Structure 1
């Protein structure tokens, strides 16, 4: 088995203990033919949950744990990680890790390295700027259109989502910020009632969130500024100040923090 990359020393510990086991348990053996059958009036017991549900839960939680490790820099851009080593870190077999990594490869977060594992993709300034530009082309006109039609009460309902980004930024929780930031933007776009647009925008947002190959310590100030823009944008939307909305939403993507 290939040697582990140096970034494998830290442990995300994101998968709950109850989800780590992948063993299934057989149903209790039925009584022999000589035993007395139950009375006809007694209903048969419901069958236990199928193992496939439990396995899907493990795979999904591993995927979320890997996304969190990517967002907060525990999986280092440029480093190669093997599925068995990551499985040992999470307390699961290599199979759900490979499945999750294949999904991340589709999203552009990692690339497959034959016979070795998966390399974390590097996100340079140019690629991040390109992603921000594409996101702006999609999201800016939608937000401006919604600003003219959505009543203030609908915007007020999004305040807790904006506050969640500020809370995560204040403590430097990069993984928490990534999730709350996507939730905030997704809730805004959901008001346009276009599921395809929401899915495309969410995919672009995920691609833009993996950290660039630089010092992660510089990210906290960017996140604080980004979260402040969320609050200011909501204030302008509630006030139906279209001039302020247009300025804020364009500046938000120029900064490209979230």
Structure 2
């Protein structure tokens, strides 16, 4: 990939990672449009997500520091925070190892992405309409069963185009978590999930990458980090006031346009 393509894909990743629109799906569609979709690009798409994950750590460092201090001090809220993140992560970790090859193959299918974008957008509209009353207002207040339930739902995001953030946020809303807490849980859950996904992918295919591909990953990582710093704060403000319907309609439109474009190729 040339430098401009790497930067463009890094921007796409930073903008979409934490929005319920599927960052992987957008990277696949963008890669197809730019003519760079291959096995090495699939690894690039997975690993540069760590740049966006680093943005979460930087923006929420105080929250993580308070949790760490609370763990040392034996505070129940801090232990509940760690327990819930661990429970949310476990289902994807267990299933991901089993379906790794199948998921990797789907990363080369833009048609799957387009269909998943449309179906996911419709699902968000339905859930937004059906969910009325939120009972849980923080990650620490989530019962263990809610955290585990969100983790199970997150496994749907292994299908490119579904959206990891979309699946976790909608799963949390369906289980009684309010919008802000659902978004933050999705952010925090992304850290172990994407670290594991990227690490496993590099373990499997890292040895086949050349110097140029490693450089592309490094540049994409930095670009996605910088862009995600801006997007995360904007996203929390938007969903707190307006909900997720705008993102649902966006998914449906982009998915439909992509399907038409793919048929005309």
Higher helix share: 2
Task: Tell me the TM-score normalised to structure 1 length.
Answer: 0.28
Task: Tell me the TM-score normalised to structure 2 length.
Answer: 0.27
State the structure with more CA Rg: 1
- With CA pairs under 8 Å and 6+ residues apart, which has the higher RCO, 1 or 2? 2
